[in-house]
Amino acid sequence: MAAKGRQGWVCQRRTSDDCWACSAWPDLTELYPGSSFFVSTEVLEKLQQRCGPAGSDAQRSCNRYGWELILALLGPHRLLLIVSVERNFELGILRVIKSMSNINNLFFIVIQHSRQVFTLQDLTADSWEVERKKTRRLRYTCR
């Protein structure tokens, strides 16, 4: 479980079935350079094979990959909790992600990683600001 330290919440690998951590592990890959969020290399490879660009619709594949990655990060036990407790599935996902780690811009990190995987253009400074504001609004919505 995450423990509260002097600097706030410390993100740690929770259980053996979690596929992510906030520190480097031998079997994990940093999701996006400088993000300090690491995901199982095996999980990333499987998702890339399953959601790989089929045809010319790379943007659709990129979006699907991003959501599949978020669902993989949540894991089956958290998804079951969201489905059984929450009326609004999207807000349930946001609440659980907020409780998982101290990384408030996880959606932005997933978007950047997805764009990098599908060789779409990274977010510019202006579009990054728009995404950051959306993420901040979502974060306050789910309090």
> Is a pLDDT exceeding 50 seen at residue 127?
yes
Task: Identify the residue with better confidence: 140 or 79.
Answer: 79
Q: Do residues 24 and 36 lie in contact, with contact meaning Cβ atoms separated by under 8 Å?
A: no
> Is a pLDDT exceeding 60 seen at residue 7?
no
Q: Kindly give the interhelix angle for 106-117 and 125-141, rounded to the nearest 10 degrees.
A: 140
Q: Do residues 13 and 66 lie in contact, with contact meaning Cβ atoms separated by under 8 Å?
A: no
- Quick one: pLDDT band at residue 121, thresholds 50, 70, 90? low
Q: Do residues 72 and 47 lie in contact, with contact meaning Cβ atoms separated by under 8 Å?
A: yes
Q: What is the mean pLDDT of residues 115-127?
A: 64
Q: What is the mean pLDDT of residues 95-118?
A: 75
Res 60: pLDDT = 79
